[in-house]
Protein backbone atom coordinates (compact mmCIF):
# COMPACT_ATOMS: atom_id res chain seq x y z
CA UNK A 1 0.00 0.00 0.00
CA UNK A 2 1.21 3.51 -0.84
CA UNK A 3 2.11 5.82 2.01
CA UNK A 4 0.48 9.23 1.74
CA UNK A 5 1.88 12.39 3.31
CA UNK A 6 -0.12 15.16 4.98
CA UNK A 7 0.61 17.21 1.86
CA UNK A 8 -1.06 14.51 -0.26
CA UNK A 9 -4.11 14.67 1.98
CA UNK A 10 -4.31 18.46 1.74
CA UNK A 11 -4.09 18.25 -2.04
CA UNK A 12 -6.84 15.61 -1.98
CA UNK A 13 -8.99 17.82 0.25
CA UNK A 14 -8.72 20.71 -2.21
CA UNK A 15 -9.23 18.46 -5.27
CA UNK A 16 -5.68 19.03 -6.48
CA UNK A 17 -4.75 15.40 -7.03
CA UNK A 18 -4.82 13.46 -10.27
CA UNK A 19 -7.64 11.02 -10.96
CA UNK A 20 -5.34 8.10 -10.19
CA UNK A 21 -4.04 9.60 -6.96
CA UNK A 22 -7.56 10.55 -5.87
CA UNK A 23 -8.70 6.96 -6.33
CA UNK A 24 -5.68 5.64 -4.44
CA UNK A 25 -6.24 8.04 -1.53
CA UNK A 26 -9.95 7.18 -1.35
CA UNK A 27 -9.13 3.49 -1.18
CA UNK A 28 -6.44 4.09 1.43
CA UNK A 29 -8.79 6.20 3.56
CA UNK A 30 -11.28 3.33 3.63
CA UNK A 31 -8.65 0.76 4.58
CA UNK A 32 -6.25 2.67 6.86
CA UNK A 33 -7.67 3.97 10.13
CA UNK A 34 -4.55 6.04 10.95
CA UNK A 35 -4.65 7.74 7.56
CA UNK A 36 -8.37 8.43 7.97
CA UNK A 37 -7.70 9.98 11.40
CA UNK A 38 -5.00 12.21 9.90
CA UNK A 39 -7.38 13.26 7.13
CA UNK A 40 -10.12 14.06 9.65
CA UNK A 41 -7.69 16.28 11.58
CA UNK A 42 -6.77 18.14 8.39
CA UNK A 43 -10.45 18.49 7.52
CA UNK A 44 -11.21 19.89 10.99
CA UNK A 45 -8.33 22.34 10.61
CA UNK A 46 -9.71 23.52 7.27
CA UNK A 47 -13.13 24.11 8.81
CA UNK A 48 -11.58 26.07 11.67
CA UNK A 49 -9.64 28.24 9.24
CA UNK A 50 -12.80 29.03 7.29
CA UNK A 51 -14.42 30.30 10.49
CA UNK A 52 -11.63 32.75 11.31
CA UNK A 53 -12.33 36.34 10.43
CA UNK A 54 -9.28 38.53 10.15
CA UNK A 55 -9.19 42.27 9.80
CA UNK A 56 -6.58 44.89 10.67
CA UNK A 57 -6.98 47.08 13.70
CA UNK A 58 -8.30 50.59 13.05
CA UNK A 59 -5.01 51.97 14.38
CA UNK A 60 -3.03 50.10 11.72
CA UNK A 61 -5.32 51.28 8.93
CA UNK A 62 -5.09 54.87 10.14
CA UNK A 63 -1.28 54.73 10.25
CA UNK A 64 -1.16 53.43 6.68
CA UNK A 65 -3.53 56.15 5.50
CA UNK A 66 -1.50 58.84 7.29
CA UNK A 67 1.75 57.55 5.81
CA UNK A 68 0.21 57.39 2.34
CA UNK A 69 -1.15 60.92 2.51
CA UNK A 70 2.22 62.28 3.72
CA UNK A 71 4.10 60.56 0.90
CA UNK A 72 1.57 61.03 -1.91
CA UNK A 73 3.36 64.13 -3.17
CA UNK A 74 6.63 62.22 -3.50
CA UNK A 75 5.03 59.65 -5.77
CA UNK A 76 3.92 62.25 -8.30
CA UNK A 77 7.04 64.42 -8.19
CA UNK A 78 9.30 61.82 -9.85
Q: Provide the domain count of the chain.
A: 1
Integer Cα distance of 21 and 15 in angstroms: 10
Cα(10)–Cα(16) distance, integer angstroms: 8
In a domain, 1, yes or no: no
- For 19-77, how does the pLDDT look when each residue is reduced to its tens digit (9 = 90+)? 999 999 999 999 999 999 999 999 999 999 888 888 889 999 999 988 888 776 665 55
3-class secondary-structure state, position 70: helix
pLDDT classification of 2: cutoffs 50, 70, 90: confident
The reply to whether 20 falls in a domain is yes
Domain for residue 10, yes or no? yes
Question: Considering the domain boundaries, does residue 30 fall inside one?
Answer: yes
Asked whether residue 78 carries a pLDDT value surpassing 60, the answer given is no
Confidence at residue 15, expressed as pLDDT on a 0 to 100 scale:
97
| Beta carbons within 10 angstroms of residue 35's beta carbon | 18
Which domain, by its residues, includes 61?
Answer: 6-77
Task: In whole angstroms, give the CA distance from residue 52 to residue 58.
Answer: 18
pTM score, whole prediction: 0.65
How far from the centroid of its chain's Cα atoms is residue 17's Cα?
16
What pLDDT does residue 4 have? 96
**Domain assignment of residue 21, yes or no:** yes
What whole-number distance in Å separates Cα of residue 20 and Cα of residue 9? 14
Amino acid sequence: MTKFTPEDLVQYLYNETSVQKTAAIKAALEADWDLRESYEQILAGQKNLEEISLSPRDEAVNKILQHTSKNAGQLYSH
